[in-house]
Structure formats: structure tokens, C-alpha cells
A and B are shown apart, each in its own frame.
Chain A
Amino acid sequence: MIHEVLARPAPAGAPAASGALAIRDLHKSFTIGGAPRTVLEGINLDIRPGEFVSIVGASGCGKSTLLRLIVGLDDDYRGEIRLDGERVSTTSLDRGIVFQDHRLFPWMTLEQNIELALLNTDVPKARRAQIVAEHIALVNLTGFEKAYPHQLSGGMAQRAAIARALVTEPKLLLLDEPLGALDALTRVRVQNELQRIWMTQRSTMLMVTHDVEEALYLGDRVVVMAPDPGRIRRIVEVDLPHPRDRAAPLLHRLKDEILAELTAAPSAPSNLVHLPGREVR
């Protein structure tokens, strides 16, 4: 199979030149009850510009902590996180994030919530309204510009949060279980939408999820993490072109394989080797 990631034609007008993330020997610990507790250990990960990478793992394996470090909300770590060669130490408009809770400001309308992301960009004021309208259309929320968050459904609010994160055209978009709170049907719809947006915007995306199927459906690669302390167990390539067919046999094989690994006893040695085409059961 060829790497579809590299073979895809660049869409018109999309900034695909940068957005390379490099993580080297990342180590993070918290002090809990006076004792240090390691939450991330020896994380090494390279993400190519324009790539979609999913991270799965049991709860407590430091997935969300990893994203908080990458986005720059926490700079207390050892090792290196670099975006296009520049070390991450604080937040920047180059890196966007969508949280599990949509975090729209309840006191602002949908439109105002998205426009606030542009406040400190150099986008001219006259262009902002139009850019906001385009992004509202991108997530299919046209007609709800003046709605307050409490008037939106969970799925709509989450799509609005995605629009807010995209409007600054970040080189890297981090998604922290963005669809975790949605019901199954809404979830599938927003997944499709996310895939479509990624294919049009072509920015680098890194998504944390606890849903293996979602991770495989969207990701060019899936990073499987192990807990206590959080570390990368293995990285699975998903060699399928986008947009993908949910029924693809490869996705199902990989899903069974990853699930088996995640639910195996922690001490048992893993005898699974990465072979995308391998039959497991």
C-alpha cells in the first residue's frame, strides 16, 4: 500500500507547508499528596505536517495531560516539544485546541464566541465577520449565529467549538476527546464532518479519544498508550485513503487488535507485532 497521506493533492488555498510536531523524551510528573507521581514517561512522537494522528489509551494514561503540554497550558515538563522547530513554552495562536466540554462562553452568541478567537490575530476587522460566517457554514451551523450556547444541542455546541478552534487557522489542532460527550448517532455525524473539515483545511491534527473505532476511522496513525506511567505502547499505521468507509475490513481487524491489547493484563508481555494486514482472530 502507498502512503495516501503523501499522495493526496494539496487543496487550493490550504496552508499545508508547516505544522510538524516533534516530541522528544517527554517526561511529566505531578506532586500528589507530597509525593511525585510520573504521568508521562519517555514520550517520543513525530507528526508530519497535515497528518491526522489519534491517541487511544485507558483513562489515566496521561493523554489529556499530553495535549495540555502541547497546547502550552502547562510548561512544567522535561524533554522537548517543538512545533516547526520552535520549543513550546506557552500558548500560541499556532496551536488550537478543542476540549471535551465545548467551553463556549455562555454569555456570548455563537458568532461572538467564534469571533473572539480572532481578537488578537492580524486579520483585518472588516474581514472577520466574513471569516466567522464561513466557519459557521463549515460546521453546518448557518442560521444559528445569534444563538446562545444554552440554546444549542451538545453536538451543535461541539461543532461550534471546532469552528472556533479552526478560525485562527492553527498549524496544529489538538482535539481532547472532542466527541466524548455526544450520543452515538451525533458522534458519527460529527466524525464525518471532522473528516471533511480536515480534508479541506489540511492542518495537522492530533486527537485524543477513548473510542478505538473513532481513532482508526479518522487517524492516519493511531498511537496506543499504556498507563502508570503514561507511555507509548505502539503506533499503528492506518493505510487507507480518506474519506474512509467505516465497513473497511482493515479498520475492523485493527480495532480488534488494539482492543485486545488495551484490555490485556498489564503485566502480560505483548506478543502483538504491528502488521496492518494481519488477521488476529
Chain B
Amino acid sequence: MNALLSRSWIRALIGLIAPGLFLIWWQMQAQAGGAHALAFAPLQSVGAAFVELAVRGSLFPDMASTLSRSLSGLAIGGTLGIALGVAMAIWRPLDRVLNPLLQAIRQVPLMGWLPLLGLWVGTGQGTELIVVSLSAFFPTLLNSFEGVAGVERRFVEVGQIYGFTPLQRFRLILLPAAMPLILTGLTQGLAFAWIASIASEILLGVGGGLGVTMQLAQMQQRIDIILVAILVTAALGFTINRLFLRLRQHLLRWQAPLR
């Protein structure tokens, strides 16, 4: 059984069982008629909507703008999060000054900032990017802080023995030792940025994106288009997450495998 499970295509096939059953259930609901038919578009019309969106519609530009919004937000929020988290862990007075404020800000759900940001910078793409960056910022900040603060003393002592300069200590000990948690922070930041992109697109409806299309389709009662947007969102999110995990595995190849 384990030998069977280790075949990668068999594992992929097993992973498809649940989505397959779900689609069958969906199709049965769609064909049941009555009130159901409105909420459950049959798969063939979802397929047709997909083709329509892909060929003549905004599907690819939407994917591109949601993706670029998420990744720009991750780049901005992630960079700031790593920089501040590392700085707070190395220089503890900074932590004591900023920690209460940051913890308090973190308690406000992301979308709670929209009314305020709307007044400050308007309800345009700038606000969307700020929300996405903020959502990537916090998980990166917290994990980077924990990563650097938790570096084992025994490794720092080795640096002392060999006369490391502060820069060498940072580059050769603190940063690599904290890397697993920094990457965990970035992975979480990516997931949050992706969610925040879709959510802010739905709420603000500007600049294009999968969320914008979902919102327009809802107004036009095009359940098939909503479903296409949801499916594409799921597939795209799944793919970039997978790619990110690959990258993480490559960067942390020095770690012992878990099994």
C-alpha cells in the first residue's frame, strides 16, 4: 500500500477523488430542477462560460491583475515585514516600543481598514494594494521576529569563537538560522495577500481582477461566470502556493527531510 502511495501519479489521482465526487454531486443538484437550478449552474454552462470568458472576455487580464496585485503586495508587505521583524529581534528596545502598537493594529480585520483608507487615499487601486500589502506584512513580521529571536545561542557562540563581525553574524548565522520561519511567514503572507486581493477587488471593484469580475457577474446574476471566477481563483491560488512550497524546499535543502 505504501509503495502504491509513493507513486506520484497515483497520489495525484487519489487527490482528485474528492473534487470529482463534488462535481458529480453538483451536476445532480443542477439537474434536479426547480429552485435548485438557479443556484447550481449545470457544468456544461459553466464550461461554456469559461470558453466565453477566455476567448472574448477578461479572464486572462483578470488573472494577470489579481496575480500581480497579490505578488506586489507580498513584495511590499513581505519586505517591510522581514526588515522590521529582524530589526525588532536584533534590537530589542525597538520591539518594546512597537510591539503593543503592532499587536493592537493586528486585531483589526483587514477589511476594517477599508473605510479609513477610502477617506485617506480614495477607493482606487492604491487602497487595494495597501490592504494586500498589510495582509502580507503581519505574518511575515511575526515569523521573522520569532525566527531571529529564536536563533540558538550555541550557534552565535561559534561566531564569537571565530571572531565574526556583526555583519558576518547576521549574514552567516542569524539570517540562515531564521530562514525556515521567514519562509513560513512569506508562505502565510502569500495566502493572506491572495485572499485580500480577491476580497478588496470584490468590495472596491476597481482595476480589474477575478474579484471585480465576480462582483459584476453577481450584479448581472451570471452564476456561471461567478463559478468560473471561483474555480480559476482556486486553481491559480493552489498553483502559486505549490510553486512557493517548491521554492521553499529548494532554499531549505540543508534541512533534514521530515520523514
Contact = CB atoms under 8 A, between A and B. Distances in A.
A168 B160 CA distance: 14
Interface string A72-106: 01000000000000000001110011010101011
Given A119-B164, A168-B162, A107 B176 contact: yes
B163 A103 contact: no
Given A105-B173, A105-B176, A150 B256 contact: yes
A116 B154 contact: no
A91 B172 CA distance: 18
A99 B168 CA distance: 21
Given A106-B255, A148-B254, A150-B254, A117 B162 contact: yes
Nearest to B177: A107
A93 B162 contact: yes
A119 B171 CA distance: 13
B162 A116 contact: yes
B160 A116 contact: no
Nearest to B257: A150
A120 interface: yes
A107 B172 CA distance: 9
Contact of A116 (B172, B253, B254): B172
Nearest to B176: A107
A71 interface: yes
Contacts of A117: 162
Nearest to B153: A73
Interface in B104-125: none
Contacts of B80: none
Contacts of A91: 160-161, 163
A103 B162 contact: no
Nearest to A90: B160
Nearest to A108: B254
Interface residues of A, number: 22
A71 B157 CA distance: 11
A101 B154 contact: yes
A105 B172 contact: yes
Given A107-B179, A107-B254, A99 B164 contact: no
Interface in B196-218: none
Contact of B155 (A103, A119, A120): A103
A103 B158 contact: yes
Interface of B is mostly: helix
Nearest to B172: A116
A148 to B, nearest CB: 5
Interface in B152-186: 154-155, 157-158, 160-165, 168, 172-173, 176-177, 179
Nearest to A96: B161
A156 to B, nearest CB: 15
Contacts of A73: 157, 160-161
Contacts of B176: 105, 107-108
Contacts of B154: 99, 101, 103
Contacts of B164: 119-120
A240 B179 CA distance: 51
Nearest to A109: B254
A96 B165 CA distance: 17
Interface in B240-259: 253-256
Nearest to B165: A120
Contacts of A99: 154
B155 to A, nearest CB: 6
Contacts of B173: 105
Contacts of B160: 73, 91
A82 B161 CA distance: 17
24 contacts: A71-B161, A73-B157, A92-B163, A97-B161, A101-B154, A103-B155, A103-B157, A105-B155, A105-B158, A106-B255, A107-B176, A107-B177, A107-B179, A108-B176, A108-B254, A116-B172, A117-B162, A120-B162, A120-B168, A148-B253, A148-B254, A149-B254, A150-B256, A168-B162
Interface of B: 154-155, 157-158, 160-165, 168, 172-173, 176-177, 179, 253-256
Rank and list the top 4 A-B pairs by shortest CB-CB distance, nearest first. A150-B256, A107-B176, A120-B163, A107-B254
Given A119-B164, A120-B165, 14 more contacts: A71-B161, A91-B160, A93-B162, A105-B173, A105-B176, A105-B177, A106-B255, A107-B179, A107-B254, A117-B162, A120-B162, A120-B164, A148-B253, A168-B162
